[in-house]
A and B are shown apart, each in its own frame.
Chain A
Amino acid sequence: MKSQYSYHEISDLDKYAKEVRRSIFNFKTSSGFGHLASCLSPVDILVSLYFDTESAYDLVHDRVIFSKGHGSPAIYPILARTGLFPESELEKYCTEEGILRLHADYSIPGCLFVGGSLGNGIGFAAGLALVRKHQHFYVILGDAELQEGSVWESLLFINHHKIHNITLIIDRNGFGITGSTEDSLRIEPLREKFIAFGLDTFEVDGHDFKDLRKVFSVKPHFPRVVIANTIKGKGVSYMEGKFEFHTIIPKDKELISQGLKELS
């Protein structure tokens, strides 16, 4: 089943993605909690999955699992739009009276797992996919998360059991908390690594809805990984590609105002 708010025109998807980013920017800067830049990079991926009319994502059966838990608040405006909780919850993000947390967990409608520890969501999703063969699981992994050894254990498992109802999406924004992934602990050549692990491997521009549509419009028959090249802090010029914003949320009124303006 598709969302009643699905869009076919690329310009509409672009417009809605900007709306989602603005919402994230709003609740993150209001609260001051979390990883704003890491939430902005996977937004187009999520919008493509949930709201592109061509997407094979089934709103009733399929699930997104954030292995990269610190980026999971990116999905809150989308889950609210699908009606799983009121949009007013976004304003209550990380407050005592709200249900939305810094890392998504199973208490939040539409979220299955617990967030905050890297390298684990992929294995959890593999187990779930093995049992629930009628569902498809889309796992969002951070690129720096690939430095966790448990990820590679899970890749062996997924390939060994040919778990085809799972799509791994790498949010390849290039940065971890301390800088470039290639400076801290090199993960390239990624494509070759995934191919060597026996996965159908695709590389796309994670901000190009045409590119994303090509991979998300079909459900695979083999384990699949999508390397989505993204920009950390996408949409806010002073944050884009700046690893320093991994944990820093703008507090300065002018910076906030500029960010909102750029996302309008």
Chain B
Amino acid sequence: MSISPRDVFLSELLEFAKKDDSIVLMSVDMGAPALDLWREQVPLQILDMGIAEQNAINVAAGLSKGGKKVFVYFMAAWIHRCYEQIRYSCCMAQIKVNILGNGVGMGYAPAGPAHQPNEDIAVMRALHNISILTASESRSVKDLVKECLESNVSNYVRLERKSTYIPETGTNRTEELGWAQKTYFGSGKPTHLIVSYGYMAGRIKKMMIDDPNFGERIALLDLIRIWPINLELIELHFENIEGILFIEEQTKSGSVSEAIISGSEVVQRKKFATIHLPNRYIFDNLEQEEILNKYGFDKSTIYKSILSL
């Protein structure tokens, strides 16, 4: 079974918090088993903020200025509600706050578009002095905790609501460079590359494990720090690759792939394609998997798309 990235992150952070009383977690109208542990074990280091995102970010900035290591936890969709405060009180004021957004992409489906942010990366990457971090599986979420504690800038951590269970195969070859992990299960050298992140990357990795043919010529590049991107290092992953398919559980406008494609001559010289959610709010009465399959994130469409390059 797989524990949700949210609980992995909060549990890992709790271990640090037990040893460091400057770590503060602010919960904005959220419940989670891991939060209960915080309340039991470090009650003075968790603040319930009510349903008040704007104030939460401003208070977080004040706490941070006062010397605390602050984490604000709410539904990812609510970053839009306190966007001004993130921009003003954190980014512009150069005050570090870690923002934990739970349930990115279609994670809360079928709750509807108010709960399903399909443009959060676009809005957050428009800001300065902030990193966007994400993880495709629970194991790598722990690295994000460490990064949040050590980095000098604010972080927006995109926490997937669900985690794809990925067995330890021991057969893959991984290469980490530029905050991205390239994984390949095939026998020879990969000719094609899928670039993705978060839940979608985990989903693709599972497709490769479940079907060896799928991963025979195709490698997966799982972006972990999706903004800002070190293009020079990311481009090294593209060497000897013929075709690149970018897959994002986001709308195309303002997406990560839009930034990579427009900024990289290396990509522009290669064959590439993209799969995104439609540029609109999705009111479909479907669950996450059903939405993804409906809009071309299914295995068959992905396989055809990349091999056509």
Give the number of chain A interface residues (Cβ < 8 Å): 28
Please give 13 more A-B residue pairs, beta carbons under 8 A apart, in addition to A131-B67, A153-B55.
A106-B93, A119-B54, A120-B54, A123-B57, A124-B89, A127-B66, A129-B62, A131-B62, A149-B54, A150-B55, A153-B54, A154-B59, A156-B55
Q: Are A120 and B85 CB-contacts (below 8 A) given A128-B66, A131-B66, A157-B59? A: yes
Residues of B within 8 A of A105 (CB): 93
What is the CA–CA distance of A105 and B92 in the complex, to the nearest angstrom?
A: 10
Q: Are A114 and B88 CB-contacts (below 8 A) given A127-B58, A157-B55? A: yes
Cβ contact of B54, chosen from A106, A123, A132, cutoff 8 A = A123
Q: Smallest CB–CB gap between A227 and chain B, Å?
A: 21
Q: Are A120 and B88 CB-contacts (below 8 A) given A154-B55, A157-B49? A: yes
Residue of A nearest to B91 (CB): A114
The residues in B between 73 and 89 inclusive whose CB is less than 8 angstroms from any CB of A are 84-85, 88-89
The residues in A between 151 and 184 inclusive whose CB is less than 8 angstroms from any CB of B are 153-154, 156-157, 160
Cβ contact of A114, chosen from B63, B66, B84, B93, cutoff 8 A = B93
State whether B89 touches A120 (Cβ < 8 A).
yes
Query: 7 tightest CB-CB pairs across the interface, nearest first?
Result: A127-B62, A123-B58, A131-B66, A153-B55, A127-B59, A128-B62, A153-B52
Residues of B within 8 A of A113 (CB): 65, 89, 93
* CB of A125 within 8 Å of the partner chain: yes
Residues of B within 8 A of A131 (CB): 62-63, 66-68
Residues of A within 8 A of B49 (CB): 157
Residue of B nearest to A150 (CB): B54
Return 13 A-B CB contacts under 8 Å, by A number. Answer: A106-B94, A117-B88, A120-B54, A124-B65, A127-B58, A127-B59, A128-B66, A129-B62, A130-B63, A153-B52, A154-B58, A154-B59, A156-B55
Residues of B within 8 A of A (CB): 49-50, 52, 54-55, 57-68, 84-85, 88-89, 92-94
Residues of A within 8 A of B50 (CB): 153, 156-157, 160
State whether B52 touches A112 (Cβ < 8 A).
no
What is the CA–CA distance of A124 and B58 in the complex, to the nearest angstrom?
A: 5
* CB of A37 within 8 Å of the partner chain: no
Q: Smallest CB–CB gap between B95 and chain A, Å?
A: 8
Residues of A within 8 A of B (CB): 105-106, 112-114, 116-117, 119-132, 149-150, 153-154, 156-157, 160
Q: Smallest CB–CB gap between A16 and chain B, Å?
A: 31
State whether B54 touches A117 (Cβ < 8 A).
no
What is the CA–CA distance of A131 and B84 in the complex, to the nearest angstrom?
A: 23
Residues of B within 8 A of A160 (CB): 50
Q: Are A124 and B54 CB-contacts (below 8 A) given A106-B94, A113-B93? A: no
Q: Smallest CB–CB gap between B176 and chain A, Å?
A: 36
Residues of A within 8 A of B58 (CB): 120-124, 126-127, 150, 154
Residues of A within 8 A of B65 (CB): 112-113, 124, 127-128
State whether A124 touches B61 (Cβ < 8 A).
yes
State whether B54 touches A127 (Cβ < 8 A).
no
Residues of A within 8 A of B63 (CB): 127-128, 130-131
What is the CA–CA distance of A160 and B48 in the complex, to the nearest angstrom?
A: 11
What is the CA–CA distance of A172 and B247 in the complex, to the nearest angstrom?
A: 54
Residues of B within 8 A of A128 (CB): 62-63, 65-66
What is the CA–CA distance of A131 and B69 in the complex, to the nearest angstrom?
A: 12
| Max chain B Cβ within 10 angstroms of own Cβ: one of A119, A130, A131 | A131
Residues of B within 8 A of A129 (CB): 62
What is the CA–CA distance of A125 and B66 in the complex, to the nearest angstrom?
A: 10
| Max chain B Cβ within 10 angstroms of own Cβ: one of A114, A122, A123, A154 | A123
What is the CA–CA distance of A122 and B60 in the complex, to the nearest angstrom?
A: 12
